[in-house]
Structures are given as C-alpha cells and as structure tokens.
DNA sequence: TATATATTTGTGTTCGAGCACACTTTTTTT
DNA sequence: AAAAAAAGTGTGCTCGAACACAAATATATA
C-alpha cells in the first residue's frame, strides 16, 4: 500500500545513468540513446514513477495569472456568491503561485462585456474563467484565447465551443424535470400547470427554454395528461408585472401550480392577489427575496444552481492545472439541489 | 492586488541580518537580540510575510500517516461512498506526503471496533479520521489519541469529546424538521403522521431520537395540531417487519405519512400491502434499494447525508493540516440534501 | 587583562526536479 | 587518417525554507 517514493536520482542509479538522462526521457527532450531510453522507460513503468509535484512547483517557481470575468452582483444578486467562491479558491492557490483577479461586467449589456473582456485580454492572463452570457461575443472571445493559448473554463452558461476546456454548471433540462416532479407531488390529481418566464432581458432565452422542455418532458412521461400553459413576463416594473399576472390568472383560473424558470419567482409571489393561496410555486436561486417567500410560504420549492460552487470549481480546476499539471475535467454537472424553508440555511454557508 | 512575494532572504537583506536570524524569529527559536527581533517582527508585519508552502513542504519532506477507521460497507451499504471520498482525497494529497490507509470494522460489533482501533493505534499514525459509532469505546479511543498526540477528526456521528479536533456531519434535528416540512407539503390538511425507527441494532438510538425531535418540532410550530405516532421496528427478518407494519397500519388506519429515521425506508415500502397507496414516505440515504423505491414511487423523498463528502472532508482537513499547517475547522455541518426520483443521479457521482 | 562562558549571528547544506552547459563518445565528412 | 559535426551523457547550480554547525560578539569570572 505505502509504496516507496522514487526520485529521479534513484532512477538514475537503477538505470546506471545520470539524472540528466532520466530527465530527458521523462520530458521527451530527445538526445538519448535507444538503449538508455528503453531501460529508463521500463524502470519508470515498473515503479510507476510519480514526480514530486512539490519539488517541481518550487523549481518552476512561476506565477500564473488567472482572471475571472463574471456579471456584477450589484446588477444581479444571483452572482454574489460567486465572489465568495472565487475568494476561497484564491486563498487556497495563491500559495502555489496562482494569482487571481476578478473583472465584473453588466449582465444586461453586451457592450460592457466586450469592454471588460478586452481589459482581461490586455492583462495577458494564463487562464480565464468566465460566464459566457452573450453567445456571439463569447465565441469571439474564446477564439482569441485559443489563438493566444489562454486556457479557458466557463461556468453557469455553456457555449458550444471547443476552444473552452471546461464547463461547470447544471443540466437545465433535468432541473426542469425536477421542478415538474415537485409540482406533481404537491398537486396530485391537478392537471393545470404553467411555466412562467420572468426576465426583463432575453439573454436567458435558451436557458429558460431548456428548463421548460425538461418540465414538459416530465409530464409527457406520465400516464395522466396535463395542461401546461406557457406565459412570458418580460417586464421590469412591478405594476406591469402585477397586471400581467392578473391577466394570466383571469385567463387560466384553473392553473394551480407555476414553475418560474428564472430567479424572479418572488416577483410572481408578490404580484399574486393577497387572497389567492391556490398557487403552488417552484422557482430558482437562493436570493434574499426568494428566501423570504420560502419563509412566508408563498414559494414552495427553489432549485439551487450553486453559483458559489460553480465559480469555486472553475477557478480550482484551472489553478490545479497550472500548479500541478492536473487534467481539467471537460464537464462538471453539479447536483440539482432542492430547497425548502427548512434547509436553505446550510446552502448559504 | 498582486503583491510581491517576499522570501526569507529578502527579509534578511531588508533587516540587515542573515537569513538564519530571520528564521529564528519566524519560528520563535529564541537566541535573537531584542533589537534584531523587533526589527524583523516589524518587517514581517509590514509586508505580511507568507512563507512559501511549497518550499517548506519540500524541505520537511516528511510523510504523514493518516488512518481512516469506518464501518465496513459490506455490512451496511450506506458506508460505500465513503471509500470513494477517501480515495479521492488520498490521490490529491499523496503528492504532498500524506499516506492514507483505511481500516474497516463491523458496525454491529463493538468487539470489531475495538480490535480494529487497536490495529490503527499499533500503526502509530499521525492522524486518524473515524466514525465514533460506539460512544464509550470511542471516548477511550480519543483519550488514547490525545495522550499520544494523534490528531483526530470524526464524521457522521459526533461524540462530546474535546479530544477530537473536528466533526463533519449533519444537523440531525434540522434534518428531522426538513422531513416534517416535506410531509406537510405532500399532505396538506392531513393530520395523522408517524415516525418509524427501523434498525435491528440500537447504536443509532440517539440519532433517531434527534431526528424525531426535529420532526415533531416542525409540527409543533404549526397552527394546526397534528397527531404523530412513534413506532419502532427493531427487526431484521423481512417477515417480522411485514408483521410489524401490518399491525401498525391496522392500529392506526388514519396515518397517511411516515418518516423513517434510518436508511431502511425501503423495508417499510416493501412491507406495505400492494394495494395500499395512501402512505407518503420520507426516509434517509441514497442506497440502492431506496433509489429503486424512489423510482417506483413508493418513497417520495430521501434525505441525503452525503457520506462521501463527509469522509472526503474529514481526510482533506487533516491532510491540509499536516501538509500546509492549515487550521482544522471545528465543526462542518453539511447541507441537508433533499432527493427525489428526478435528481438523485447527480448525487451519486 | 586574560580566559571562560553565554549569547547572538552567519554560512552552508539539504529536499527533488529542471535545465544550462560542459564534456565524452560516435558518426560523418574531407 | 584527421578534422568536423553530431549525438549522447554527466555535472552543477537554482528555486525557498529549515536546520545544523561554525563563527563572532557580548558578558561573566578568575
């Protein structure tokens, strides 16, 4: 179990050569005779040589510059936990020469994204972790990074680009299914449900669709058929939202459960008529206003996308890649956490 | 932001002394004049000196022996994920000289625990991570470790001993509350519920009680009062369990929701009469048989105690303590994950 | 004042990997 | 066969912290 730790010097002795030659074999630097090469390779395999990462790291003594490009939590509180996750990772890896800096952009402005991403590139980083909110702009960005061999990881949103090494996030389709399962449990027998997309901007469009698909998928798999209405509320003003909700309820008085595909479920809860208690609500994200609604019973379940962990993992993966040559996982799908009024505290940390 | 990394040599130059003197100040080895001490201390503070952990680790070049003492997954599948967690941590930290070995004991036998814990001690480890299933025996164990300055961490179960540095687990009372909240949501208006303790051995007694307390606590906080029955099934044989369940249902035909405080909810599900669908079931732990019951709809919710993560963190905390002098957190309470048929896959990893 | 003793300070080596450079051996060219 | 080029090999220094030991300085004793 506890196998001996071999050093390059050990191997050199075993092979009857000098450590320089062993080093050349390990790093494929060539200039090694066939005979020596074979002998050393064989020994390396036999003892399953693992280089001492500590010594390697010390010798290289390089500092890596890792930049993070995410939406500004001031503009959307959903992103606030990301900063904590980044900080945690930053503290862990600065001892290994990974220097981390964060750049914030306005999630409602492609212009802001472009400006900040340019700044990031001007810094000539070794790696970038970012949230590709805007599809086209993100593609341009990843392409540039590929060309300048800047290692990339994305989280929260995915883009179909093979220029980015790693994606960390959630299976949105499945999370829609989870929401379906929850509403189904809350409302056995009830057959009228609704999917509500609440978002003043439309960059979330693909996400919301994916969630809706999963939701419908769940009910399609059931024997009993359900009526599922889709309703969009692309407003920001609370009065307009109220109006939209009122209209929605009047048109479909039989709807008893609603799945809100964004973090704005609290807006729906607030906009419901005081007297109305027949609506069961499932939404996303542990932002403060949603938690208040959990406590007051206006929202039944929230799905946690764990932005903190997403950011933490994104930064960690790249840091471990730089510091220890660790492989970066292609895809990391986080669990779909189900949150109620009783268990949310532990997810806030 | 990116502050310069100072080395001991840098500080020595700044203070006009040699690196030996700086070293003595840093490690409080004494034999330093008051004047030099003051000067160096001041500089250390000013630049917020952080030693290069990589270099320190390399120099020490020590291997630490970390042993893990947990129940045998062969005897109870609940513990199987722990081995994965331990392996993951082991791979991560062996590069830093932390050698990890696992010892398994029979969770139904104090004798087995004693025998294995003796073996552990015979190995003279630097640290031990263990599950203190048996109270008295665990206290003796921790005491011995304290005396021989073996660093300890516990997970899953806690013992009130200040000889153990760290506990990783769940707030059982809260998890009972969560179960209460879930059953309440599933059964609005229904007022008859039951807590069932299923366990052939009684070492879990305190855990089960704690969970029941939380469960009752939740319903005590509601306006509408509920009838909650407690039922114990200390059997192992499936026929005896069937009989016990039948008796229970006959005595309390109005019960519509059951909270099973152990990982044996599947036994209850199996023992229910085929025709009976009125019982909503909430249990614990993602063991295979429970998952099958989730899929078939016989169990509605499971609470995940995340044994994998518990073991992983236990090992990681001690490893980081040994390798990097990192402080060990006293208490780490993991989130109370709510599991349905739709989201369990992501928790299995 | 000279010598012994205690206190303080400096120097040099080590950990393992990486890499530059010097050195040796083999092969090619004239 | 001698010289030049190429291929292969070995040596020694570096990264930063830790620590043993030597050296220098200060204080106490005869």
The pLDDT score that the predictor gives to residue B202 is: 63
The pLDDT score that the predictor gives to residue B205 is: 78
CA A282 to chain centre: 21
Q: Do A96 and B53 touch (CB under 8 A)?
A: yes
For residue B130, the surrounding DSSP H or E stretch is strand B127-130
Q: Do A178 and B343 touch (CB under 8 A)?
A: yes
Q: Do B181 and A57 touch (CB under 8 A)?
A: no
The pLDDT score that the predictor gives to residue B159 is: 80
For residue A236, give how far its alpha carbon lies from the nearest alpha carbon of chain B (Å): 31
Quote the DSSP letter at residue B329.
Answer: P
B chain contacts of residue A300, beta-carbon cutoff 8 Å: 185
Residue B21: strand, helix, or coil:
helix
Q: Is the pLDDT of residue B82 over 80?
A: yes
- CB distance A55 to B58 below 8 Å: yes
B chain contacts of residue A53, beta-carbon cutoff 8 Å: 95-96
The pLDDT score that the predictor gives to residue B1 is: 47
Nearest to B95 among A53, A63, A346 (CB): A53
What structural domains and CATH numbers belong to chain A?
8-51 (no CATH), 62-170+307-333 (3.40.50.2300), 172-304 (3.40.50.2300)
- CB distance B133 to B157 below 8 Å: yes
Number of residues in chain B: 349
User: Which segments of B22-79 are extended strands (E)?
Assistant: 64-71
* Nearest CA among B21, B86, B97, B12 for reference residue B54: B97
Name the token pair of A61: 């003594």
Selected residue of A217, A221, A342, A349 to mutate for chain B interface (largest B Cβ count, 10 A): A342
Which value, to the nearest 10 degrees, does the dihedral of the CA atoms of residues B183, B189, B191, B192 take?
A: -60
Name the token pair of B115: 């025998």
Measured distance CA(A155)–CA(A142) in Å, rounded: 13
Q: Do A337 and B338 touch (CB under 8 A)?
A: yes
Angle between helices B205-220 and B172-186 (to 10 degrees): 50
Q: Is the pLDDT of residue B157 over 90?
A: no
Using alpha carbons only, what angle is made at residue A263 by residues A258 and A264, rounded to the nearest 5 degrees? 65
- CB distance B174 to B336 below 8 Å: yes
- CB distance A6 to A52 below 8 Å: no
A172 touches chain B (CB under 8 A): no
Q: Do B171 and A346 touch (CB under 8 A)?
A: yes
Q: Is the pLDDT of residue B2 over 70?
A: no
d(CA B12, C1' C6) / Å: 25
| Segment A299-349, tens digit of pLDDT | 999 999 999 999 999 999 999 999 988 899 989 999 999 999 999 999 997
Residue with tokens 């051995």: B201
| Segment A45-86, tens digit of pLDDT | 999 999 999 999 999 989 999 999 999 999 999 999 999 999
Name the token pair of A148: 């300048």
Residue in B with minimal Cα distance to A59: B55
| Segment B123-144, tens digit of pLDDT | 999 999 999 999 899 999 999 9
Measured distance CA(B306)–CA(B301) in Å, rounded: 15
- Which bases of chain C are contacted by protein, using any atom under 7 A from a CB? 7-12, 14-21
Q: Sorting pLDDT into bands at 50, 70 and 90, what band is B55? A: very high
A274 touches chain B (CB under 8 A): no
Give the nucleotide nearest to A40 (CA→C1').
D9
- CB distance B36 to B21 below 8 Å: yes
Give the nucleotide nearest to A35 (CA→C1').
D8
Q: Is the CB of A66 under 7 A from strand D?
A: no
Residue ranges in chain A whose pLDDT is less than 50: 1
Measured distance CA(B95)–CA(B54) in Å, rounded: 11
Sign, Cα dihedral of B236, B239, B243, B248? positive
For D6, nearest residue by CA–C1' is A31
d(CA B130, C1' C17) / Å: 36
- CB distance B27 to B283 below 8 Å: no
Residue B254 CB-density burial (10 A; 0-12 exposed, 13-18 middle, 19+ buried):
exposed
Measured distance CA(B314)–CA(B53) in Å, rounded: 21
| Segment B192-243, tens digit of pLDDT | 999 999 987 766 778 899 999 999 999 999 999 999 999 999 888 889 999 9
A chain contacts of residue B335, beta-carbon cutoff 8 Å: 337, 343, 346-347
The pLDDT score that the predictor gives to residue A2 is: 53
User: Where is pLDDT greater, at B278 or A42?
Assistant: A42
User: Where is pLDDT greater, at B150 or A278?
Assistant: B150
Of A204-208, A275-279, B69-73, B259-263, minimum mean pLDDT range? A275-279
For C10, nearest residue by CA–C1' is B18
Quote the DSSP letter at residue B234.
Answer: -
Measured distance CA(B69)–CA(B234) in Å, rounded: 26
Measured distance CA(B3)–CA(B6) in Å, rounded: 9
For residue A70, the surrounding DSSP H or E stretch is strand A64-71
The pLDDT score that the predictor gives to residue A1 is: 47
Residue B19 CB-density burial (10 A; 0-12 exposed, 13-18 middle, 19+ buried):
middle
């Amino acid at each position: 179990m506890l196998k001996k730790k071999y050093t390059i010097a050990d191997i050199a002795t075993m092979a009857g050569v000098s450590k320089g030659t062993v080093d050349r074999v390990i790093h494929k630097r060539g200039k090694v005779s066939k005979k020596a090469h074979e002998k050393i390779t064989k020994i390396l395999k036999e003892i399953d040589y693992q280089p001492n990462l500590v010594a390697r790291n010390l010798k290289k003594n390089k500092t890596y510059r890792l930049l993070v490009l995410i939406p500004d939590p001031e503009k959307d509180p959903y992103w606030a936990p990301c900063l904590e996750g980044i900080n945690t990772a930053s503290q862990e890896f600065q001892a290994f020469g990974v220097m981390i800096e964060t750049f914030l952009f306005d999630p409602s402005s492609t212009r802001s994204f472009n400006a900040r991403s340019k700044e990031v590139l001007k810094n000539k980083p070794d790696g970038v972790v970012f949230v590709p909110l805007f599809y086209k702009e993100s593609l341009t960005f990843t392409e540039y990074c590929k060309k300048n061999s800047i290692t990339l990881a994305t989280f929260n949103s995915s883009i179909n680009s093979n220029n980015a090494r790693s994606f960390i996030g959630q299976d949105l389709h499945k999370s829609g299914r989870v929401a379906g399962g929850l509403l189904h449990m809350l409302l056995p027998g009830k057959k009228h449900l609704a999917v509500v997309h609440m978002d003043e901007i439309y960059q979330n469009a693909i996400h919301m669709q994916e969630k809706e698909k999963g939701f419908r998928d769940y009910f399609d798999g059931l024997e009993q058929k359900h009526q599922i209405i889709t309703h969009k509320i692309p407003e920001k003003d609370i009065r307009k939202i109220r109006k939209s909700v009122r209209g929605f309820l009047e048109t479909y008085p039989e709807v008893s459960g609603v799945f809100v595909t964004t973090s704005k479920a609290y807006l729906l809860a607030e906009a419901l008529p005081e007297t109305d208690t027949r609506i069961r609500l499932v939404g996303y994200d542990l932002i403060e206003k949603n938690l208040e609604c959990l406590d007051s019973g206006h929202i039944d379940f929230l799905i946690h996308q764990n932005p903190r962990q997403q950011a933490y993992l994104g930064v960690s993966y790249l840091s471990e890649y730089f510091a220890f040559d660790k492989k970066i996982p292609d895809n990391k799908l986080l669990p779909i956490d189900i949150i109620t009024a009783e268990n949310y505290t532990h997810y806030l940390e």
